[in-house]
C-alpha cells in the first residue's frame, strides 16, 4: 500500500477512486459491481487507458500498456492487486466488509493467486474490442483529467 503525494491527493479532491482496465471483461465487471453496490457513491472511476490512469500507473512504476492490477485509492492510500479489492470491499461496508478477511491470507499466496488470474484474464474472461465509454449519466463519476 502506498500513499498519494499531497499534490496528487489534492488533484483527486479527496475522492476515493477505482482505476480499471476498460478492455478487460473481469476488470469492467468489478467496475460494474462497484457501481451497483456503492449506494453512497463514495467511489469515482478512471480508466487505466485515460490520461489520469496512465499517470497513476507511471507514478507507481507500473506498465502503462498492460494493466495487471486495478488501483483502488481509499482515504489517499493506493492499493494494488488483491489488496485493492479488499480495500474496496471494506469501503463499501455492510456485508461486503466480510471480504476484508482476505487480508489475512499470507502475501506470497495472495500475490501468486492474483498474478495467475491477472496474467490470464483475457484468455479466461475475454477482452472488449474497445474501451468502455461511460454513459452521460455515469460521466460525473469519472475523473478523466491528468495531473
Cα separation, 129 vs 88, in Å, equals 27
End-to-end CA separation in angstroms for the chain: 21
Number of neighbours of residue 69 by Cβ within 10 angstroms? 24
Contact in structure between 43 and 88 (CB atoms under 8 Å): yes
**Domains of the chain, residue spans:** 2-128
Q: Give 136 or 31, the one with higher predicted confidence.
A: 31
Cα separation, 144 vs 136, in Å, equals 14
Fold category of 2-128 in CATH: Glutaredoxin (3.40.30)
Structure confidence by residue, pLDDT tens digits, 97-139? 999 999 999 999 999 988 888 887 777 777 666 666 667 777 7
Amino acid at each position: 500500500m502506498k500513499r498519494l503525494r499531497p499534490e496528487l491527493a489534492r488533484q483527486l479532491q479527496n475522492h476515493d477512486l477505482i482505476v480499471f482496465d476498460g478492455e478487460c471483461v473481469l476488470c469492467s465487471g468489478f467496475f460494474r459491481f462497484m457501481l451497483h453496490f456503492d449506494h453512497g457513491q463514495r467511489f469515482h472511476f478512471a480508466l487505466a487507458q485515460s490520461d489520469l490512469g496512465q499517470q497513476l500507473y507511471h507514478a507507481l512504476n507500473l506498465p502503462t500498456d498492460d494493466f495487471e492490477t486495478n488501483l483502488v485509492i481509499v482515504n489517499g492510500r493506493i492499493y494494488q492487486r488483491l489488496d485493492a479489492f479488499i480495500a474496496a470491499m471494506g469501503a463499501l461496508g455492510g456485508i461486503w466488509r466480510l471480504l476484508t478477511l482476505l487480508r489475512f491470507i499470507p502475501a506470497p499466496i495472495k500475490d501468486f493467486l492474483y498474478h495467475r488470474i491477472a496474467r490470464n484474464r483475457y484468455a479466461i474472461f475475454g477482452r472488449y474490442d474497445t474501451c468502455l465509454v461511460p454513459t452521460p449519466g455515469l460521466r460525473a463519476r469519472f475523473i478523466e483529467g491528468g495531473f
